[in-house]
Amino acid sequence: MLYGLDTTISASVQGPILASLGEIEKLAWVGIGFPMGSVSVILLLGWCYAVFEIKYLMIGSIVIFETGSALCGASPTMNAMIFGRVIAGIGGAGMYLGALTYISVFTPLSTKPIYNALIGLCWGTGCILGPIIGGSFAVSSATWRWAFYINLPLAALLSPVYFFYFPKHNPQPDTSGPTKLARIDWVGAVLNATVFTLFQVVLTFAGSTWKWNAPGPIALWSVFGAALIAYIIQQTFSLFTTPSRQLFPIHFLKSRTQVLLYIGTAASSTGLSIAVYYIPLFFQFTRGDSAIRAAVRLLPLITIVIFCVMLSGGLLPIVGRYSPLYILSGIFILIGASLMHTIKVSTSTSAIYGYEVLTAIGIGLIMQTAYSVSVTKVKPHDIQNAIGFINVGQIGTMAIALSIAASIFQNRGLINLKEALNGYGLSEQELRGALAGVQSAVLMGGDQVVRAKAVEAIVKTMDSIWIMSIVAGALSLVAGLLMRPEKVVLDMVSV
């Protein structure tokens, strides 16, 4: 739950953080840094959970997560905040993978779907409550810093459980620690982290901090392309490693089922991240809501996502068929996101709640389903790879989706504001300030015409972002239609 909470908690505290630390050009990293840290190490951590003692990895991940949280809360500068978010993301990924690993090791296949649904319930609840809790701290005397500090007493409270009650499980007890470390695909791990990091750095800063045609972004795009090609070649031909030890389970790309499960999970994650970040933002700009009130507007999304996660987790062992879930998910996300794409400043709140519900049904139906199905389609030694593969689809896509959305919001938003407010003598810095939050000079000034035009331009920008969710819904629908119309037997089978 804490991992999910920190994934989205920055959605409602970015304004107060900006007011405290400044450096608006780095503000997007408060949200992006956490999932970026996670996706950079997901595959490496997944490999580690397949060979090392899982209890120690879990506890170590919790310590790293809490260290990052403490650094975020105490941050004196924006750079320190971003660094803390990345560190917390790394630890959070280890906690989430640890929970999924415990489920895969200590539960029979027949009950895995409901346990995975419970993990999804906790993570999803944390994700959706993040903006509400963050907003609550932001408007209280505790300030935004306690949105991060809150992780520390909660972890301390539960630490006896971690140390004394977590069971041990060493997947390879006869292999020494140094030997296990030597077998890690370190070249693949470095290239994986480089590819994800460079992509998000250049996408976030290009257009906002740097001009698209400036030497810096061009150089970074070139290095990203070279790193991506090197990563593909290294993994395909197992350079500096062996096929059994390569970081990315490349053989899954030959499996129709695994690829389609990945696509469906990525679609759900995209829908969730866009909704959680941009629905509260819409209400802040158009209704003048406080951070906490805007976050409370997510309650329809919260309740329906949670209900559908549990519903699909309970139905899967009974019905056994998973493709209908993806088909239905695609239909609901497609309809809900298409309706969100049409909203204007004047759209009624009740209508938006209805659109939230439709989108939430699609998100919840498949948010955790792939974790249960994927492990039934692989051999026992590939279970951890399957979990890591789907986790990249879930968390990795969230990081990428938020980066793309932030780039659209900053770049398209500036263009729309310039067009709407042409002739009012506003500087580019003032226009970018309007995108940073409702406390900007443009939106807080006395000129109501300027404010109305600015809000219209910002809402128009958000409409463009919802296109990502429309595409996600379409992909989920196509993935569901292409899946085998099979009934999953929750006993271990080979690919």
108 compared with 54, residue with greater pLDDT: 54
The segment with the largest mean pLDDT, out of 125-129, 183-187, 215-219, 489-493, is 183-187
Of 99-103, 287-291, 330-334, the range with the lowest mean pLDDT is 287-291
Find residue 321's DSSP bridge partners: 487
426 vs 261: CA distance, rounded Å:
48
What's the mean pLDDT in 131-136? Answer: 82
What's the mean pLDDT in 218-236? Answer: 94
pLDDT band at 355 (very low <50, low <70, confident <90, very high): very high
Q: What percent of the chain has pLDDT over 70?
A: 96
pLDDT band at 209 (very low <50, low <70, confident <90, very high): low
Looking at residue 339, its pLDDT comes to 97
Q: Which CATH number fits domain 2-184+247-419+456-482: 3.40.50.1820, 3.30.420.130, 1.20.1250.20, 3.50.50.60?
A: 1.20.1250.20
User: DSSP secondary structure string, 179-234?
Assistant: HHHHHS-HHHHHHHHHHHHHHHHHHHHBTTTB-TTSHHHHHHHHHHHHHHHHHHHH
User: DSSP secondary structure string, 146-182?
Assistant: HHHHTHHHHHHHHHHIIIIISPP--S-TTS-HHHHHH
pLDDT at 356 over 90: yes
Q: What is the pLDDT of residues 2-50, one digit of tens each?
A: 988 888 787 777 778 877 887 776 777 787 888 889 888 988 998 899 8
- Alpha carbon distances (Å) from 292 to 137, 143, 276, 279, 459: 9, 13, 13, 13, 20
What's the mean pLDDT in 407-418? Answer: 88
∠ at Cα 205 (460, 344), nearest 5°?
Answer: 10
Compute the mean pLDDT over every residue in the chain, rounded to the nearest whole number: 87
Looking at residue 480, its pLDDT comes to 96
Looking at residue 441, its pLDDT comes to 64
pLDDT band at 70 (very low <50, low <70, confident <90, very high): very high
Selection from 177, 173, 166 nearest residue 102 by Cα = 166
Judge residue 11's burial from the number of C-beta atoms within 10 Å of its C-beta, 0-12 exposed, 13-18 middle, 19 or more buried. Answer: buried
pLDDT band at 490 (very low <50, low <70, confident <90, very high): low
Of 1-5, 64-68, 71-75, the range with the lowest mean pLDDT is 1-5
Of 107-111, 219-223, 257-261, the range with the lowest mean pLDDT is 107-111
185 vs 235: CA distance, rounded Å:
9
What's the mean pLDDT in 132-136? Answer: 82
pLDDT band at 69 (very low <50, low <70, confident <90, very high): very high
Identify the DSSP state of 321: B
pLDDT at 267 over 80: yes
pLDDT at 224 over 80: yes
HSE (CB half, 13 Å, CA atoms) of 62? 23
Of 214-223, 319-328, 429-438, the range with the lowest mean pLDDT is 429-438
What's the mean pLDDT in 452-463? Answer: 92
pLDDT band at 277 (very low <50, low <70, confident <90, very high): confident
pLDDT at 194 over 50: yes
244 is written with which tokens? 């059994």
Q: What is the pLDDT of residues 38-55, one digit of tens each?
A: 888 988 998 899 889 999
CB 104 within 8 A of CB 391: no
Structural domain boundaries in the chain: 2-184+247-419+456-482, 185-246
What's the mean pLDDT in 432-437? Answer: 74
Of 88-97, 149-158, 342-351, 393-402, the range with the lowest mean pLDDT is 393-402
Identify the DSSP state of 74: T
CB 272 within 8 A of CB 329: no
CB 281 within 8 A of CB 85: no
